[in-house]
Amino acid sequence: MKIGIVGLGLIGGSLAIAFREKGLEVLGVSRKATTCETALAKGIVTRASTEMGLLQTADVVFLCAPIKAIVPTAQALIPHLKPTTILTDVASVKGEIVQAIAPLWPNFVGGHPMAGTAEQGIDAAIPGLFIDAPYVVTPTPETPPDAVETLKGLIALLQSRFYCCAPQIHDQAVAWISHLPVYVSASLIAACGSETNSEILQMAQAIASSGFRDTSRVGGGNPELGLMMAQGNRQALLNSLAGYRAQLDQAIALIEQEDWEAIANLLATTQQQRPSFL
């Protein structure tokens, strides 16, 4: 089976390394000739080119462009594909992408490998990036089951944990456990930073420890990533934020009312619920 990869960065490069390790032929396309040369020199791909035409013999093509470039890249690629080619992408939001590409290419299956590092670019590509990580595929009712099965087989080669659901289910699930925490955590930093009494602020900064450090971690991360989550998954994130605000308001009301039994129940419930997400 011939694998095509468009975009040889952290994700595309690491997919190439993983499939080459399993003995598959990997054709790589990058906008930059220097990236193609690096990929060939490192043995990450079998062949590389800046031209989409390289992928006309590929059986499965992974679109690994940045999220905003996925749909235009698919549009540019499709004229070069043979009709049986299975097309998939790796973007972290699925609804809009699936809606845009599925009508253009019946053999399209949306996908989201949930792995990464803080690094970017082909030099960040590493072996084993996807081992034990979730890999969610998001077919529609019209997606050919064979296409999903083929992709599932490749995901097994990556040693990822395969999940399958509708694009909207995926988007709401990642809104809850990945995108919501960023805004919950950023608001914590912003709130602490908003203290106008300088003596309180300086004392807070001096004595903050592991509780603040962990709760604020994702809110103090890469701003571009947080922005992309909100732009790409806006409605699902707003749903989650509304649900979160309702829970917060309830906690505030219970503390105001000194309803300590209800606060004890709330904290006992969250202690019980958390392990089911880990």
Site residues for its own copies, window 200-259 (CB under 8 A)? 200, 203-209, 211-224, 226-227, 230-231, 234, 237-238, 240-249, 251-252, 255-256, 258
Asked if residue 69 binds its own copies (CB under 8 A), the reply is no
Residue 112 or 150 with smaller CB distance to its own copies: 112
CB of 276 to its own copies, least distance (A): 5
CB of 43 to its own copies, least distance (A): 30
Alpha-helix runs per DSSP H in the chain:
10-21, 33-41, 70-77, 95-101, 145-157, 167-174, 180-193, 198-207, 210-216, 223-232, 234-256, 260-273
CB of 34 to its own copies, least distance (A): 29
CB of 181 to its own copies, least distance (A): 4
Q: Which of residues 148-177 bind its own copies (CB under 8 A)?
A: 161, 163, 165, 169-170, 172-174, 176-177
CA angle 169/173/175 to nearest 5° reads 120
Q: Which of residues 134-153 bind its own copies (CB under 8 A)?
A: 134, 136
Residue 31 or 245 with smaller CB distance to its own copies: 245
CB of 229 to its own copies, least distance (A): 10
Asked if residue 122 binds its own copies (CB under 8 A), the reply is no
Two tokens at 96? 């809009």
Two tokens at 48? 């590389």
Residue 142 or 199 with smaller CB distance to its own copies: 199
Asked if residue 278 binds its own copies (CB under 8 A), the reply is yes
Residue 29 or 115 with smaller CB distance to its own copies: 115
**Residue 220: C-alpha distances to residues 64, 214, 248, 275 (Å):** 26, 10, 21, 24
Cα–chain center distance at 86: 20
CB of 256 to its own copies, least distance (A): 6
Q: Which of residues 95-114 bind its own copies (CB under 8 A)?
A: 114
**Residue 32: C-alpha distances to residues 18, 120, 122 (Å):** 22, 15, 11
Asked if residue 24 binds its own copies (CB under 8 A), the reply is no
d(CA 179, CA 239): 11
d(CA 256, CA 151): 53
Q: Name 135's bridge partners.
A: 113, 162
**Residue 166: C-alpha distances to residues 85, 113, 136 (Å):** 22, 15, 10
* Contact string (CB under 8 A) for its own copies, positions 34-53, x = contact: --------------------
Residue 48 or 228 with smaller CB distance to its own copies: 228
Q: Name 89's bridge partners.
A: 63
CB of 204 to its own copies, least distance (A): 4
Identify which of 184, 169, 183, 191 has the alpha carbon closest to the alpha carbon of residue 228.
183
CB of 104 to its own copies, least distance (A): 26
Residue 41 or 206 with smaller CB distance to its own copies: 206
CB 62 within 8 A of CB 28: no
